[in-house]
Chains A and B, each alone.
Chain A
Amino acid sequence: MRILYAALLCAVPLPAQWLNYPTKGTPRNPDGKANLSAPVPHRADGKPEMTGVWMGVTKYMINIAADIKEMPFQPAAAAEYQRRRASESKDDPSAQCLPLSPPLRVSITSPFKLIDVAEKEEMLMLNEGMRQREIFMDGRPLPKAPEPSWYGYSIGRWGGDDLVVESIGFNGKLWLDINGHPTSDALHLTERYHRKDFGHMSVEITIDDPKMYTKPWTVHEETRLLADTELLEAVCENNQDPAHMIGK
């Protein structure tokens, strides 16, 4: 066991960029660590402050439908999903460093940062892959005929104390998880972000995609706040995997 302790002690955090830097306004325990159970902070207008570095607790990263007994697949979607499973997800777009779907974004063990730009009526979602989502909170409608895109077009509003984000205009190439639950260009995504306390936020995601699923379905993700840290750059510069991903 002595060797084991030595191994663990060697893994002390090293100062690197802003990996460890106290964040202003963070409630503290007597030992100086962030109090993740402290109450939700609020903006001047009483709405919850959502700004922070968050990370999923991974339950649905591999399989978003892990707790759904019967998936409401359309026949073509079921076939496509089976094809992806049979090939061990070798065609997963994220393996080619292409964008992650919003459900995968909040479940994967790589952080994202929400920034509430209240005075601009906008919410920004950044991630370490240097890609951003803009969520417009100014009351604009969803576009009528959006140009298909990876992240789609997002508008947000407050539903009580929840940040509710609606998105359309996706390109149909997104996978909802590593297993490969499919999407189409008809995807209408609703995300409901609920900050439960200082360090915990749940995200309810409803997938309404009539080309792929016979009815809307919902998953509940959980995230936790990464205190006293910031996003670190992660540019996908050395992706050797696709050339070796042969599947079965």
Chain B
Amino acid sequence: MKLAASIASILILAPAAWCHHSFAAEFDGSKRVTLQGTVTKVEWTNPHIYVYLNVKDTSGAVTEWACEGGPPNVLLREGWSRTSVKEGDQVTIEGALAKDGSKRCNSRTVNLADGRKVFAGSSEDNAATNPGRGKQ
């Protein structure tokens, strides 16, 4: 847990992602979700990338989730690419749930099965680290 916590703190300090929209309009930062599953598709598109993954619940039922990430250019400048996550990869995504109840999340961390963390930085990081938010 200590390692996980230190990684999380570094990710939060990572250069802030471009905030294309208000995080809180779409996602609830207090409703966390950890999704473990198989990547079915990656959309390396603007204004956000999406990682789709099939998640199996305890009964064996499979649900497809869509998790939003940063814009491609921000991720490219952080050193990631369209092949950093590929169809078939096993991933664990931690993020915030969509407010409208859809199977969507804003990904804060994406972990590959080999332990690599990819796509650091989310619009939530930006909201969390910007001291001006909500002041006025």
Contacts and interface: CB of A to CB of B under 8 A. Distances in A.
A7 B7 contact: yes
Contacts of A88: 22, 24-25
A44 interface: no
A79 interface: no
A92 interface: yes
A141 to B, nearest CB: 35
Given A4-B6, A16-B81, A241 B76 contact: no
Contacts of B6: 1, 4
- Interface SS of A by simple majority: loop
A108 to B, nearest CB: 6
A17 to B, nearest CB: 9
Interface string B31-64: 0000000000001011110100000000000000
A246 B73 contact: no
A110 interface: yes
- Among A66, A244, A245, max chain B CB count under 10 A is at A244
Nearest to A65: B136
B50 A63 contact: no
A62 B125 CA distance: 12
A240 B133 CA distance: 24
B25 A95 contact: yes
B130 interface: yes
Contact of B21 (A13, A92, A238): A92
Contacts, number: 155
Contacts of B24: 88-89
A247 interface: yes
A229 B81 CA distance: 16
Interface in B1-16: 3, 6-7, 10, 15-16
Interface string B74-91: 101111110000000000
A60 B76 contact: no
A1 B3 contact: yes
Interface residues of B, number: 52
Nearest to B133: A62
Q: For the side of the interface on A, what is the size category? A: 35 or more
Interface in B74-124: 74, 76-81, 98-100, 102, 104, 115-118, 120
Given A109-B19, A109-B74, A14 B79 contact: yes
A7 B134 CA distance: 33
Interface string A208-230: 00000000000000000000010
A108 B81 CA distance: 22
A63 B133 CA distance: 6
Contact of A7 (B15, B19, B71, B116): B116
A14 B79 CA distance: 6
A11 interface: yes
B46 A13 contact: no
Contacts of A241: 20-21, 26, 47-48, 68
B46 A237 contact: yes
Contact of B76 (A1, A232, A247): A232
A246 B3 contact: no
19 contacts: A1-B3, A4-B6, A11-B80, A62-B19, A62-B127, A62-B132, A65-B132, A65-B135, A66-B136, A88-B24, A90-B22, A109-B19, A110-B71, A179-B136, A240-B68, A241-B47, A244-B99, A246-B99, A247-B25
